[in-house]
Amino acid sequence: MADHRDTSFDVRRLGGFTFIAALTFFALYVPIAVLVVFAFNAGESISDWQGLSMKWFAIAVTDARVIDAAVRSMVIAVSAGIIATAAATLAAIATTRTAPYRGLSAKYAFINLPLMVPEIVTGVALLIFFSRLKIWTGYSGLGYLIAAHAAFCIPFAYLPIRARLENMDDTLERAAADLYATPLRAFRHVTLPLLWPGIIAGFMLAFVISLDDVVITEFVKSGGQDTLPTYMLGQIRRGTTPALNAISTIFLLFSVLAVTIMFLADGKRSKDQ
């Protein structure tokens, strides 16, 4: 009798897989859980539980400095995410919807180079570059922070968009060309709707990276341009209170909500198609 046992490799069958997976999730999420729990601590300690209270959330949402930093962070992250995603989309199309040629791999590596360069190096380079621009132009607004964030977010947005393009069948695009659609109309009515999930994923990744950045922001920002991460870093240097836990918890809930909405919207779009 033939042996019909499944011989395909499955990592879940390896010994200790469940234990290692559980240990990994424990290491990832227990510190976050502790942070959230102590955001509700009635006392000022972040390690000694003194009762349940919402006062730190009230302090966080009514602090003008926190609100100002949070709004600035959102403006920078959204603006940088849009710019980075638009540039990454064009770069992904240019490096996938073309016949292979000498130098294409080098361009791909060049686009992704910021992922390998230490962030401190990028921060110093942007500091030198923008400091000269500030002297020449006399402008010291948020434009520099938006440009800096958009620059280092491009490769993060590029990767999911390129991956989506590489996995897309170009039959419909060829059919549109055969029906005399211009390249712009074919992109608008065929490529863009199919590419949309990759664009959303690229934007969300760029948005989160920008929202979370500290190093480059510290180098590029001018006086009075604290984002929420740099504001929280400054507060930690003065002494940690559960107010920082409350701010972190609010942003954690915001991130989870944003990802959930995007996931549900992408699932609904996939069903509609």
pTM of the model: 0.81
Q: Are 150 and 79 in contact (CB under 8 A)?
A: yes
- pLDDT given at position 172: 75
| Among candidate residues 31, 273, 38, the one with its CA nearest the CA of residue 168 | 273
- pLDDT given at position 85: 94
Residue 213 backbone class (left: φ over 0; alpha: ψ -120 to 50; beta: rest) = beta
Dist CA 187 CA 181 (whole Å) = 9
- pLDDT given at position 200: 87
| Among candidate residues 234, 230, 195, 196, the one with its CA nearest the CA of residue 210 | 230
- pLDDT given at position 72: 92
224-247 per-position pLDDT tens digit? 888 988 888 888 877 777 888 888
Which distant-in-sequence residues (6+ apart) come within 8 Å of 142 by Cβ? 72, 75, 76, 225
Helices (H), 179-227: 183-186, 192-212, 215-220
Beta strands in the chain (DSSP E): none
Q: Are 173 and 190 in contact (CB under 8 A)?
A: yes
Q: Are 212 and 156 in contact (CB under 8 A)?
A: no
* Bridge partners, 115 (sequence order): none
192-225 per-position pLDDT tens digit? 888 888 888 889 889 888 988 889 999 988 888 8
Q: Are 104 and 198 in contact (CB under 8 A)?
A: no
* Residues making up the chain, counted from first to last: 273
Domains of the chain from N-terminus onward: 67-272 (1.10.3720.10)
Q: Are 232 and 247 in contact (CB under 8 A)?
A: yes
Question: Which residues of the chain are under the pLDDT cut of 50?
Answer: 1
- pLDDT given at position 4: 55
- pLDDT given at position 1: 47
51-66 per-position pLDDT tens digit? 888 888 888 888 888 8
Q: Are 165 and 96 in contact (CB under 8 A)?
A: yes
